[in-house]
Structure 1
Amino acid sequence: MSGHKRFWKDVTVVSDDGLFQPRLDGRPIRLPQGHVLAVRSSALAEAIAGEWGQIAEGTAFTPDFLPLTRMAGTMIERIAPAPQAARDMLLGLGVDDGLCYCADGVGPVAVQVFAWLSGYGVHPSVTDGLMPVVQPEGYREALARLLAARDDLELAVLGVLAQATGSLLLSLAVVGGAVSLVDAVLWANNDEKSQLATWGQDDELIRTMENREKDILDAGMFLTLGRQVSI
C-alpha cells in the first residue's frame, strides 16, 4: 500500500455470512495474500472502515495510516492459518522477558503482572543484573498453556503489544485485564523517561515514546472492538 493514493469515494460495511466487510466503493478490501478483509465484530469493521474513510481524497497513504487494518490482516492471513506458530513465536519472547529484568527493583506494574500470572501457575524469576535470567522448571510449559488459551484476535494483539513493550508477560496481563493500557505505556516508556530526566530534551526519544504509546493504544482498541461480537 506504500505510495498509493485514495481512489475511492465511499466506504461502507457489509455483513456477509456472519462476518463484516469494510468495502471501498462497494468492493471488498483485499489483503496482501488475496484474502478479503472480514471480521466477526461489526464495531471493529466500522473502525477499520473509519481508517480508510479519514484518508483525504488524492492523499498518498502507507500502512502507518491503517493500524487496525494491519492487525486484522495479520490475524486473517498469518495467525488464523497457523495459530500454533504464532504462539511458539510469542513463547520465545516470554522465555527471556523484559519484565524479568528489574535494575531498580520490582515496580508496581510488575507486581500486578506477577500476581496475575501466579493464578495461572506462571512464576518467573527476576534479576537486577545484566546476565540472562534462568527461568525455573515448568515456567515454559505454564506459559505455553496460558498462550494456548488465546484466540486469533488476542494473538494478533499480543504480537503488537509484546513488540511495543518488550514484554510478553506484561502484554498477557493487559489482554487478561489485569493491567491497564495506561500502566503498560508507563512501564514501556520508563527507560526513555529516565534518560530525558537525566539528559534533557531529545526529540528522537520523544518520537519513539509517542510511537510506542500509539502502538499500545491501537492494539487495545483492536482488542476491545474485536471482542464486541454478538452471539
Structure 2
Amino acid sequence: MSGHKRFWKAVSVAQENGLFEPRLDGRPIRLPQGKVLAVRSSALAEAIAGEWGQIAEGASFTPDSLPLTRMAGTMIERIAPDPQTTRDMLLGFGVDDGLCYCADGINPVAEQVFAWLSGYGIHPSVTDGLMPVVQPEGYLEAVGQLLATQGDLDLAVLGVLAQATGSLLLSLAVVGGAVSLVDAVLWANNDEKSQLATWGQDDELVRTMENREKDILDAGMFLTLGRQVSI
C-alpha cells in the first residue's frame, strides 16, 4: 500500500460467508499475501471502511494511514495461520518487561496490573535499578498460560500495545479490562513527561509521545469494535 493513491470512488461493507468485507467500488480488499480483508465484526468492518473512505480523492496513502486495516491484515495473514508463533514472540517482551523497572517506586498503574496478574498466579519481580531483573521460577510459564487464552483478535492488539508500551504485562491487563487505555498512555509516556519537565520543550519527544498514544488508542478501538460480534 505504500506510495499508492486513492483510485476508488465508493467504499462499502458486504457480508459474505458470515464475515464482513470492506469493499472498494464493490470489490474486496486484498491483503499483501492475497487473502481477502474480512472480519467477524460488522462494527470493525465499518470502521475499516471508514479509514479508506476518509482518504481524499487522488491522495497518497501508506499503511500508517490505515491502522485498523493494518491490524486486521496482521490478524488474518500472520496470526490466524499460526497463533503460537505470535504468542512466543510476545512472551519475549515478558522476559524483561518494562513494567518491572520502577526507579521511582511502583506507581498506581503498575499496582493495578500486578494485582490483576496475581489472580493468574503471576508475581513478577521488580527492581529500582538498571540491571536486568531476574524473574522467579514459573513466571514465564504462567505468562505463557495467560497468552494461550488469547484469541487472534487479542493477539493482534497485544502486538501493537506491547510495542508501544514496552510492557507485555501492562498490555495483557489492558486487553483483560483491568487497566484503561488512558492509564496505559500515562504509564507509557511517563519517562518522556519527566524529561520534558526537566529539560523543557522537545518537539521530537512530543511527537514520540503523540505517536505512542495514537498506537495505543487505535489498538483499543480495534479491540472494542472487534469484540462486537453477534452470536
The Cα shift of 1:125 comes to: 0.2
What secondary structure, in the 3-state scheme, does the structure 1 residue paired with 2:187 have? helix
The Cα shift of 1:210 comes to: 0.2
Q: How many residues align?
A: 231
- For 1:172 and 1:4, locate their aligned partners in 2 and report how far apart those are by CA, in whole Å: 35
- For 1:103 and 1:96, locate their aligned partners in 2 and report how far apart those are by CA, in whole Å: 15
- For 1:189 and 1:93, locate their aligned partners in 2 and report how far apart those are by CA, in whole Å: 18
1:202-221 residue pairs with structure 2 within 5 A? 202-221=202-221
Task: Give unmatched runs, 5+ long, in structure 1.
Answer: none
Deviation string, structure 1 residues 36-75 (Cα, Å, up to 9, x no partner):
0000000000000000000000001111110000000000
Cross-structure match for 1:144:
144
Amino acid at match of 1:79: I
The Cα shift of 1:95 comes to: 1.2
The Cα shift of 1:167 comes to: 0.2
What secondary structure, in the 3-state scheme, does the structure 1 residue paired with 2:15 have? strand
Cross-structure match for 1:8:
8
Task: Give unmatched runs, 5+ long, in structure 2.
Answer: none
For the pair 1:117 / 2:149, whether they are aligned, the reply is: no
Cross-structure match for 2:130:
130
1:12-31 residue pairs with structure 2 within 5 A? 12-31=12-31
- For 1:227 and 1:64, locate their aligned partners in 2 and report how far apart those are by CA, in whole Å: 23
Between the two proteins, what is the percent identity of the paired residues? 88
- For 2:130 and 2:65, locate their aligned partners in 1 and report how far apart those are by CA, in whole Å: 37
1:150-169 residue pairs with structure 2 within 5 A? 150-169=150-169
The Cα shift of 1:108 comes to: 0.3
The Cα shift of 1:173 comes to: 0.2
- For 1:33 and 1:102, locate their aligned partners in 2 and report how far apart those are by CA, in whole Å: 42
Deviation string, structure 1 residues 151-199 (Cα, Å, up to 9, x no partner):
0000000000000000000000000000000000000000000000000
What secondary structure, in the 3-state scheme, does the structure 2 residue paired with 1:14 have? strand
Cross-structure match for 2:174:
174
What secondary structure, in the 3-state scheme, does the structure 1 residue paired with 2:13 have? strand
Cross-structure match for 1:86:
86
TM-score w.r.t. length of structure 1: 1.00
- For 1:63 and 1:96, locate their aligned partners in 2 and report how far apart those are by CA, in whole Å: 29
TM-score w.r.t. length of structure 2: 1.00
The CA RMSD over aligned residues, in Å, is: 0.4
What secondary structure, in the 3-state scheme, does the structure 1 residue paired with 2:184 have? helix
Deviation string, structure 1 residues 121-162 (Cα, Å, up to 9, x no partner):
011000011111000011011000000000000000000000
What secondary structure, in the 3-state scheme, does the structure 1 residue paired with 2:33 have? coil
